[in-house]
Structure 1
Amino acid sequence: MSPARRIAAHALVLLGLVAGAGGLLAARVLQQGELELRSAEALASTGNLEEATVHARQSASWFVPGAPHVPAAYAQLIAIARLAEGRGDAKTALFAWHAVRTSALSSRWVLIPHKDELAIADASIARLSAKQSAPHGAATQDPADIQQKMHALLARNDRPRLPWVFAMLGGFVALTAGLLHMGWKGLGDRKHLAFGPLRVGALLTTAGLIAWALALWNA
Structure 2
Amino acid sequence: MSDAAPSPSISPARARFVTRVVRALGAAAIVGLLLGAVTARVVWSGESEIAESTAALRRGDAYEATVRARRAAGWYAPGAPHVRVAYERLASMATTAEGLGDRDLALLAWRGVRTAAIETRWLLVPHQEDLDRANVAIARIEAAAPRPPGTRTEPPQRIEEKQLAALLRDEAPRTPWVVLLLVSFVAWAGGAAWAVRRSSASPGDFDLARARAGVFVALVGVFLWVLALWRA
**TM-score past 0.5 threshold:** yes
Larger Rg: 2
Q: Does 1:54 align with 2:67?
A: yes
Hey, what's the Cα distance between the residues in 2 that align with 1:174 and 1:66?
Answer: 32
Hey, what's the Cα distance between the residues in 1 that align with 2:89 and 2:148?
Answer: 32
Equivalent of residue 70 in structure 1, options 83, 93, 104: 83
TM-score normalized by the length of structure 2:
0.73
Higher RCO by CA contacts (8 Å cutoff, separation 6 or greater):
1
1:107 aligned partner, one-letter code: T
Map Cα deviations across residues 7-37 of structure 1 (whole Å, 9 max, x no partner). 1111111111111111100000000000001
Q: Does 1:164 align with 2:210?
A: no
The 3 A distance-change label for structure 1 pair 65 and 177 is farther
Secondary structure of the residue aligned to 2:51 is: helix
Moved more, 136-145 or 124-133: 136-145
2:126 maps to what in 1? 113
1:189 maps to what in 2? none
Query: Share of identical aligned residues, percent?
Result: 37
Equivalent of residue 117 in structure 2, options 98, 104, 116: 104
Equivalenced residue count is 197
Equivalent of residue 80 in structure 1, options 93, 115, 122: 93
1:130 aligned partner, one-letter code: A
State the 1:123 CA deviation: 0.7
The 3 A distance-change label for structure 1 pair 153 and 43 is same
1:31 aligned partner, one-letter code: W
The 3 A distance-change label for structure 1 pair 136 and 170 is farther
The CA RMSD measured in Å over matched residues stands at 3.5
Hey, what's the Cα distance between the residues in 1 that align with 2:165 and 2:179?
Answer: 24
Secondary structure of the residue aligned to 1:150 is: helix
The 3 A distance-change label for structure 1 pair 36 and 176 is farther
Map Cα deviations across residues 80-129 of structure 1 (whole Å, 9 max, x no partner). 10111121101110110000000001111221100111111011001111
Hey, what's the Cα distance between the residues in 1 that align with 2:183 and 2:148?
Answer: 47
The 3 A distance-change label for structure 1 pair 177 and 49 is farther
Secondary structure of the residue aligned to 1:19 is: helix
The 3 A distance-change label for structure 1 pair 98 and 21 is same
State the 1:165 CA deviation: 3.6
2:181 aligned partner, one-letter code: A
Secondary structure of the residue aligned to 1:31 is: helix
The 3 A distance-change label for structure 1 pair 169 and 107 is farther
Segments of structure 1 that go 5 or more residues without pairing to the other structure are 186-191, 193-199
Q: Does 1:24 align with 2:32?
A: no
Equivalent of residue 162 in structure 2, options 128, 138, 149: 149
1:110–1:159 contact (8 Å) kept in structure 2: no
Map Cα deviations across residues 39-76 of structure 1 (whole Å, 9 max, x no partner). 11211232211111111111111111111111111001
